Amino acid sequence: MKTRYSFGGDEHIFVEVDEEMSLEAFFKSLSMTTAIREAGIDGITEICPANASFQVKFDPDVIAPEALMERLKGFEAAAENAEKTIDTRIIEMPVFYNDPWTHETLMRFRERHQDPASTDLEYAARINNYPDVESFIAAHSGAPWFVSMVGFVAGLPFTYQLVERARQIQVPKYLRPRTDTPRLTVGYGGCFGCVYSVRGAGGYQMFGITPMPIYDPKGERSYLKELFLFRPGDIIRFKPIDRETYDATLAEVEAGRYEPKIASVQFSLDAFNADPEGNNAKLLEALDG
Amino acid sequence: MADAAAMFEVVKPGLATTVQDLGRPGYYHLGLPISGAMDRFALIAANRLVGNPDGAAGLEAVFLGPVLRFVADAVIAITGATMPPKLDGVEQPLWTAFAASAGQELSFGYLKAGARAYIAIAGGIDVPEVHGSRSTYALGGLGGFEGRALKAGDQVKFAAPTGSPRLGATIPEDIRRNAPQSGTVLRAMPGLYWHRITEESQGTFFEDSWKVAPEADRIGYRFKGGRALDFVPREPPFGAGSDPSNIVDSCYPYGSIQGPGGTEPIVLHRDAVSGGGYFMVGTVISADMDLIGQLQPHQPVRFESIDMEGALAARRDEKARLNRLAECLGS
């Protein structure tokens, strides 16, 4: 893991913890951003963690860029040795896979896809060596996901599945981005999943849709008073649901009665690495218990 | 009593007229960009002319101005793009505070230079603050007037003035700014994923003349016409994706210049997408961000390489210009 520092103009410092994605890189980035936040350095205006990198925005009238760069580098060694354990939440997200709305959308943009003759799910299942869509969905929903970054647009979580690298799903993005994606589409690109918080352009493959809003610009929903549901470090479980459950859940959402299922958990990277499946089972127990 | 009617009605909305102030910092880590006026200097100037604090909310009108009917008396000032304002058809000066009476209609002539006009009203536009700002973030349907650009029939309130408008006060020509029709230079610091392109492409990027593409909005400005960028060969890192322009999705600095496929660079602006999977060659310096907001499609632009020292000097020049603004308005 080789960490690289660069100025993003006169107001940003960009830190690439590692060129490739891994939970180790994510944890190092999270440790550094947490330590930097706690240090309360004058002149830092925003700290944005990402998958395997992070960005600090600063006011160069308050702190000299070179001086800040040196200070940030000073957090690296401690982050490498920091305990990779966080207190976080696991959130259940119901997903209607293979739904009619993302299907209609993906058919409209077929000429922008690598394989116009398949659906996004069929294509993803095939190139990841699953015999059929059902077994692919079972793998997608079978292990929980880490929210490794929130961004692109307001409140959109990037997710990284808690499985060994050999089992990571990988899918290229569309050849050319779509101009439309239904709101709350569950998508996939590279080694990352995402949930589109708003309707709009997008390049990720589309696997399904959730009835559970994750962003509320008016802050009216009980669990979205702060507008956004997800924060980096959250854990998500995708729970497959059928059309009937989707419709029933949506009715609850529209009546303002829906509350997501959320439990507090602790996640330790070492414990996960020692026994991924056992560790995941414990995380899921917290939701079901 | 007067307050209840302190509003204007939108007769025609223009192309994309939004409520903007100086933005909503602090939520970029959750994907919510800063938003606010693309040309901050112009909004500040307009606000000072009508006696508002710098951060009062005004209107940003792009390419085509709106038609507004005032329901109450108001003092207004229009800055930024050269889009001549008219009251009941009579042309009014730009960069100058003037009075509009209840019942009068504010409209605009054709755009002559620049791209975005700023309309400040004494008291400021009165829409609810969301996370500390009245700016519109249309992509997320947040802030501003119902989270969107204005539409015909909207009734938009403005607050009671707190300062003293400087009726007739005007801002001297030499500190007004518009993007020149030719020879616009955007200064950028190479960095971020600059090492991903070949030495030759590092040269052509700054040598070539680029043109603003039609896809230019508050999220970002796309440029075309320069030579495509060539990449240094590599094994794609895990999670980055197979295209040589892909990276493991990271944050995007404001002003960062990304190059999907290495072809048409995009400079992210106030409504930036906060992150994604495209490499970036560097970042336009903060002092030149306002200028981008005044660029029209097809306008020729060159990028010029600058180091940190130069960027900080340019920043001081911008501060000096704001100070001169204060001096000439006696504030």
| pLDDT per residue as tens digits for the range B227-251 | 999 999 999 999 998 889 999 999 9
Domains of chain A: 4-82 (3.30.1360.40), 87-288 (2.40.100.10)
Evaluate if residue B174 carries a pLDDT over 70. Answer: yes
Interchain CB contact of A59 with B (< 8 Å): no
Q: Which residue of A has its CA nearest to B194?
A: A6
Interchain CB contact of A158 with B (< 8 Å): yes
Residues of B in contact with A152 (CB under 8 A): 31, 249, 273-276
Mean pLDDT along residues B70-87:
96
How high is the pLDDT of residue A9?
98
Please check whether residues B288 and B153 belong to one and the same domain.
no
Looking up tokens 């909503």 gives B24
Q: How confident is the model at residue B168 (pLDDT cuts 50, 70, 90)?
A: confident
Residues of A in contact with B30 (CB under 8 A): 150-151, 154-155, 227-228, 231
Q: Is residue B329 part of a domain?
A: no
Q: Is residue B330 part of a domain?
A: no
What average pLDDT does chain B have? 94
Please check whether residues B54 and B169 belong to one and the same domain.
yes
- Percent of chain B with pLDDT strictly greater than 90: 87
Q: How confident is the model at residue B53 (pLDDT cuts 50, 70, 90)?
A: very high
Considering Cα of A140, then A141, then A147, then A151, what sign does the dihedral take? positive
d(CA B137, CA B147): 6
Please check whether residues B162 and B197 belong to one and the same domain.
no
Note whether B248 contacts A19, CB cutoff 8 Å. Answer: yes
Evaluate if residue B179 carries a pLDDT over 70. Answer: no
Picking from A126-135, B78-87, B138-147, B177-186, which range would have the lowest pLDDT averaged per residue? B177-186
Q: How confident is the model at residue B331 (pLDDT cuts 50, 70, 90)?
A: low
Q: What's the domain count of chain B?
A: 2
Evaluate if residue B210 carries a pLDDT over 80. Answer: yes
Q: Decide which of B175, B209, B244 is a domain's last residue.
A: B175
How high is the pLDDT of residue B5?
80
Nearest chain B Cα distance for residue A52, angstroms: 7
Q: What is the ipTM of this complex?
A: 0.96
Choose among A3, A4, A15, A2: nearest CA to A57: A15
Report in angstroms the alpha-carbon separations of B198 from A133, B61, B194, B201.
Answer: 42, 40, 9, 5
Q: Decide which of B175, B202, B228 is a domain's last residue.
A: B175
**For the domain that residue B199 is a member of, what is the CATH number?**
2.40.100.10
Please check whether residues B93 and B159 belong to one and the same domain.
yes
Please check whether residues B217 and B240 belong to one and the same domain.
yes
Interchain CB contact of A213 with B (< 8 Å): no
- Percent of chain B with pLDDT strictly greater than 70: 98
Please check whether residues B53 and B166 belong to one and the same domain.
yes
Nearest chain B Cα distance for residue A231, angstroms: 7
Q: Report the alpha-carbon angle B237-B240-B242, nearest 5.
A: 90
3-state secondary structure of A274: helix
Q: Is residue B49 part of a domain?
A: yes
Please check whether residues B13 and B91 belong to one and the same domain.
yes
Q: Which residue of A has its CA nearest to B128?
A: A218
| Nearest CB neighbour to A8, from listed B26, B130, B256 | B256
**Enclosing domain of residue B133:** 3-175
Q: Is residue B327 part of a domain?
A: no
Q: Is residue B324 part of a domain?
A: no
Average pLDDT for consecutive 10-residue bins of chain A (289 residues)?
A: 96 98 95 96 97 98 98 94 93 98 96 94 97 98 97 95 95 89 96 96 95 96 95 97 98 96 96 96 92
Q: Is residue B266 part of a domain?
A: yes
| Nearest CB neighbour to A20, from listed B25, B31, B239 | B239
- Residue B56 in contact with residue B49, Cβ under 8 Å? no
d(CA B28, CA B45): 27
| Nearest CB neighbour to A9, from listed B25, B131, B284 | B284
Which of the residues A2, A13, A14 would you substitute to probe the B interface, choosing the one with the greatest number of B C-beta atoms within 10 Å? A14
- Residue A95 in contact with residue A138, Cβ under 8 Å? no
Q: Which residue of A has its CA nearest to B219?
A: A153
How high is the pLDDT of residue B1?
39
Choose among B262, B252, B266: nearest CA to B201: B262
Please check whether residues B159 and B195 belong to one and the same domain.
no
How high is the pLDDT of residue B242?
83
Q: Report the alpha-carbon angle B30-B279-A182, nearest 5.
A: 50
Q: How confident is the model at residue B2 (pLDDT cuts 50, 70, 90)?
A: very low
Residues of A in contact with B286 (CB under 8 A): 9-11
Q: Is residue B199 part of a domain?
A: yes
Please check whether residues B20 and B125 belong to one and the same domain.
yes
Picking from A194-208, A216-230, B195-209, B317-331, which range would have the lowest pLDDT averaged per residue? B317-331
Laid out side by side, the sheet with A53-58 consists of: A4-8, A12-16, A53-58, A44-49
Please check whether residues B156 and B189 belong to one and the same domain.
no
Note whether A6 contacts B191, CB cutoff 8 Å. Answer: yes
Nearest chain B Cα distance for residue A44, angstroms: 11
How high is the pLDDT of residue A176?
84
Choose among B256, B254, B255, B207: nearest CA to B229: B207
A151, two tokens: 């961004």
Q: Which residue of A has its CA nearest to B143?
A: A217
- Residue B23 in contact with residue B36, Cβ under 8 Å? yes
Note whether A9 contacts B277, CB cutoff 8 Å. Answer: no
Q: Is residue B87 part of a domain?
A: yes
Residues of A in contact with B280 (CB under 8 A): 8
Please check whether residues B12 and B127 belong to one and the same domain.
yes
How high is the pLDDT of residue B4?
52
Looking up tokens 């696997």 gives A207
Q: Decide which of B124, B148, B175 is a domain's last residue.
A: B175
Choose among B182, B226, B183, B221: nearest CA to B202: B226
Choose among B117, B143, B118, B116: nearest CA to B129: B143
Interchain CB contact of A190 with B (< 8 Å): yes
- Residue B251 in contact with residue B160, Cβ under 8 Å? no
Please check whether residues B76 and B169 belong to one and the same domain.
yes
Q: Higher confidence at residue B326 or residue A231?
A: A231
Nearest chain B Cα distance for residue A66, angstroms: 9
Mean pLDDT along residues B86-99:
97
3-state secondary structure of B123: coil
